[in-house]
Structure 1
């Protein structure tokens, strides 16, 4: 969010003074359509990124999403363009929903329906999965594979795609279907990197285009969705906004789940109730962790577990205990032994850093100079 000192909008110079501008709309596919005023994702004009028209299949119900020749798609020209924001470009394709909450589940359902994977295969895959060592930043699928992937969340699908599936599906799927699936896996491996080059983005795009094209050949048209079409627009989102860790909705969805579990009376003022309960839970975690780090007594564990879900002390010192040095922060991004995602919170010692001189912002339409703004 860019916060202004206060300017009048270019499109209405005599109107209300603006103090903030929207730089990005990040939602799942249905919500993005409603928020930005685009047509539904299951309409014949489903894509807001291009002018591609999708006919209906012969059954008259499903949409025909075949055709993945990206070079022939005609991009839209500034729908809902504001004086400072191209809403078509600013409404991102969320990588979490696009990569991990659509295509993997749809293909798994199809493999089960076609009997490519049978009940015995799930049992065997579960046994093999239990012997695998999963990297620390991935979720272990303790029993989900044996239960045929019921009630899977995005982070679990992410683990399945990147860690489990290349090993477990190799001896289960037919060769052509497995090789095509690996195209999707390879694309995901590149796209979720904390830092990514333009060449890697283009390579991932080629993997996704090959994957979608082969899906058109290996399966019938009913398996193809608007989500698969948007795979080939994901490259533009990453080019515009950088690595996916800066804006994908994993954190938002986790906090959303926490808020939905808070009890309210469902009347006016529930927003204040949400905030009070959330802050209480945060301070409970701080209290428990500080207590565990300052004492070796375990008699209070039964009480502490009722206050918070995470009562295990941190295994590494908190970043807030260190003095912030900007040179070390920059060098860390170039050290392959340090996992830096770019969205880590900075310690309080970083706040007094002097800001660079403000830059001017040029309007898209009239190229008029707008007063300076500050990033917050």
Structure 2
């Protein structure tokens, strides 16, 4: 990035003439227009059919001010209210009350209408829907029927009862893709992602597009084509019933990771609902036909790249163990041959199914797609299970899709909610006689957790284990596994168990990296194999569940599908949560879901088209929809270089008569002068900066509660990576125009920006260390440090990023993030 400079005139703002006639409103003309839409209100109150005339009325209403002098148009008002409803998950009765309340606050003669019926009808004209196909089936024989049939043609069952049939919904994937490509940012983001900067390592795996499965589909080398990661899982809607939903989602792998996880970019393919699990032989075929049609090509129109033919391919699928068994039509995780990756049979004992670790071939023999298809055909012909396969999987009909290699081993459910949670239950909730039991130390451990102040990237501050572990989310188990557990448990877990556990932490951290080399994968593969073998020895073969066994397959999954974060269920679970919040009441749940999905995907387009950027209405909309403004649009952000911004006001640091400063101490100034290449005439201090979308605080910024976003790692020229706490950020300025007078107005200024850092140095072993200290020192992403009185001025482009800091027994334990992609 080089030195970050800032010209003095960058602070200048050119204000336009506020009296410009273009901004004035002719209210007499507006009154005439208001009268002309009286007919529109009459139509809205009627139950007329949609048509071109009604759409024209709707467009007129959208642009009408609510009343003379109003800050909002009718359309802006409606969209802001909908954004408020979505942000705060209002019930139908709350929406009625809100509309009535707003109406009471508007002046007499306003065109705001408090009717919820009219409110809903307004949005029904905005095309917030996609084509939906309902597939009806006879509940007795599972044969396809029509909604008008009175008797099943296959089994002659009476279909007059509502319980005699069931149906599921298929939403047009093609229509959703066409709408996404029409957006300004969508295909442009795909193009930029394909042309992204050079990889950190040319041969490393940094995304799902670097995996062997992606590279095996030659058509995906064409920049116009895209691929899907599929997910499906059950969602329980009501606590008092077994009614549930099974949505099918596709994420688009060619988008940047931050975009492919957003709700408006997820494709909603289908929905099964009811009080029983989906019948995949009925649910999957329509979805398969849809994907096969997309592989043949379809035409899309883009704002900046014209119209072209695109093809979409199903690349991979990620699910939890239960959903995976349904999709693959194989036995569940607690059955013989329940592993989707290999042919390990396992054993059954004491109401548990185990996969004892065979030292010769612990993760084999591996399944292949061709072999799996043969097993499916054999199972179908013999009406029996063959190597765990119950029958053919319809996804095998999709060209280029490899069911075995393309089926992810999801680390969210497997490692976090599976192995990590199981280990914590063993340590804290098992029999007190077990040598690994640490439950009697829980008060101390809970107390330590309460003192941890993670960076703002980890939204959930640690909760105690005793009272809250049963409510922990997967992200909390992730923070425990990767950052908190080893520094804490070194004092309580016996050495042999601690050494074994450290292998799990190290292996998963490596496979979650942003840039994973083959050496990293081999190291992780070896660590996880040793962990599984040691786990069986230490805890007993009865506890080697499928989740533990699957650790042997994670390394190969990374080779085939990229880093674990790229194909986890985390962001799909987030979409499920958003979907549930839009369901109110028990009536017509599927219709509520369809409306919710349409709003989740298309409402952002409405907001983009409705508001002018920079207005107060747009700022409120962005706040409600959590569509954060870009740094360039924020008034307190100043660009210093590509992707680097100072945040907040800059305060001049003035010297005292004795030559000292209020904030900058003598060692601070010495550190700054060692790095700056001129004698500063002015010093400006600020508290925050953003680099590549990551916000870094200083110790001067005291607003965050229970968060530490000022402990960082940095890399200086010709030095190893260092750690420290940012005390403040400083801008050093000097004039470069050559003028000798103090009143120079040339404006030629050179600026340099630094983070003034108090260094943390590696702590040497001491007699006070735990018995597990040597094992902890061998974990590469955790560093034991202590604070020093050494200070360094670090250029902003030398800041690598924040770290997770734990302060225990007088030392800081710093854990680096495996990647900057995953967010809580």
Distance of 1:212 and 1:268 partners within structure 2? 43
Match of 2:475 in 1: 155
Distance of 1:133 and 1:342 partners within structure 2? 21
Counterpart among 420, 423, 430 of residue 104 in structure 1: 420
Match of 1:138 in 2: 458
User: Contact 2:426/2:437 (CA < 8 Å) preserved in 1?
Assistant: no
Pair 1:18-2:293 in alignment:
yes
Counterpart among 336, 347, 357 of residue 55 in structure 1: 347
Distance of 1:176 and 1:281 partners within structure 2? 54
SS class of match (1:149): helix
SS class of match (2:480): helix
**How far apart are residue 102 of structure 1 and its match?**
0.4
Question: Which region of structure 1 is more displaced relative to structure 2, 243-252 or 183-192?
Answer: 243-252
Match of 2:552 in 1: 232
SS class of match (2:509): helix
User: Contact 1:139/1:155 (CA < 8 Å) preserved in 2?
Assistant: no
**How far apart are residue 210 of structure 1 and its match?**
0.9
Aligned in 2, Cα 1:90/1:120: closer, same or farther, shift over 3 Å?
same
Match of 2:411 in 1: 95
Distance of 2:588 and 2:417 partners within structure 1? 29
User: Contact 1:187/1:203 (CA < 8 Å) preserved in 2?
Assistant: yes
**How far apart are residue 225 of structure 1 and its match?**
0.7
Aligned in 2, Cα 1:336/1:233: closer, same or farther, shift over 3 Å?
farther
Question: Which region of structure 1 is more displaced relative to structure 2, 81-90 or 244-253?
Answer: 81-90
Distance of 1:94 and 1:55 partners within structure 2? 23
**How far apart are residue 217 of structure 1 and its match?**
0.5
SS class of match (1:85): coil
The structure whose RCO (Cα within 8 Å, separation 6+) is larger is 1
SS class of match (2:294): strand
**How far apart are residue 254 of structure 1 and its match?**
0.9
- 1:121-136 map, 5 Å: 121-136=441-456
Distance of 1:232 and 1:308 partners within structure 2? 44
Aligned in 2, Cα 1:77/1:268: closer, same or farther, shift over 3 Å?
closer
**How far apart are residue 147 of structure 1 and its match?**
2.0
User: Contact 1:144/1:152 (CA < 8 Å) preserved in 2?
Assistant: no
Distance of 1:184 and 1:170 partners within structure 2? 15
**How far apart are residue 159 of structure 1 and its match?**
0.3
Distance of 2:505 and 2:798 partners within structure 1? 22
Distance of 1:65 and 1:317 partners within structure 2? 55
Structure 2: give runs of 5+ residues left out of the alignment.
1-213, 215-219, 227-288, 296-312, 374-395, 643-691, 693-796, 802-818
Q: Deviations over 1:103-157 (max 9, x none)?
A: 0111111112133455552221122223333234334443233425121111110
SS class of match (1:22): strand
Pair 1:219-2:509 in alignment:
no
- 1:144-223 map, 5 Å: 144-147=464-467, 149-223=469-543
TM-score by length of 1: 0.70
User: Contact 1:209/1:232 (CA < 8 Å) preserved in 2?
Assistant: yes
Select the structure that is richer in strand.
2
Question: Which region of structure 1 is more displaced relative to structure 2, 273-282 or 220-229?
Answer: 273-282
Distance of 2:822 and 2:488 partners within structure 1? 32
Distance of 1:318 and 1:188 partners within structure 2? 38
CA RMSD of aligned residues (A): 4.2
**How far apart are residue 200 of structure 1 and its match?**
0.5
User: Contact 1:140/1:156 (CA < 8 Å) preserved in 2?
Assistant: yes
- 1:256-267 map, 5 Å: 256-264=576-584, 265-267=587-589
Distance of 2:488 and 2:606 partners within structure 1? 41
**How far apart are residue 252 of structure 1 and its match?**
1.0
Match of 2:33 in 1: none
Match of 2:431 in 1: 114
Distance of 2:626 and 2:345 partners within structure 1? 49
SS class of match (1:23): strand
The structure with the largest alpha-carbon Rg is: 2
Paired positions, count: 316
Match of 2:591 in 1: 269
Q: Deviations over 1:13-49 (max 9, x none)?
A: xx99732331111111211121122221110111121
Distance of 1:341 and 1:117 partners within structure 2? 35
Match of 1:355 in 2: none
Counterpart among 331, 335, 354 of residue 64 in structure 1: 354
SS class of match (2:405): helix
Distance of 2:355 and 2:343 partners within structure 1? 13
Aligned in 2, Cα 1:220/1:281: closer, same or farther, shift over 3 Å?
farther
Question: Which region of structure 1 is more displaced relative to structure 2, 212-221 or 263-272?
Answer: 263-272
Aligned in 2, Cα 1:261/1:176: closer, same or farther, shift over 3 Å?
same
Aligned in 2, Cα 1:99/1:140: closer, same or farther, shift over 3 Å?
same
Q: Deviations over 1:47-81 (max 9, x none)?
A: 12111111212x3x211221153745211132135
**How far apart are residue 198 of structure 1 and its match?**
1.4
Select the structure that is richer in helix.
1
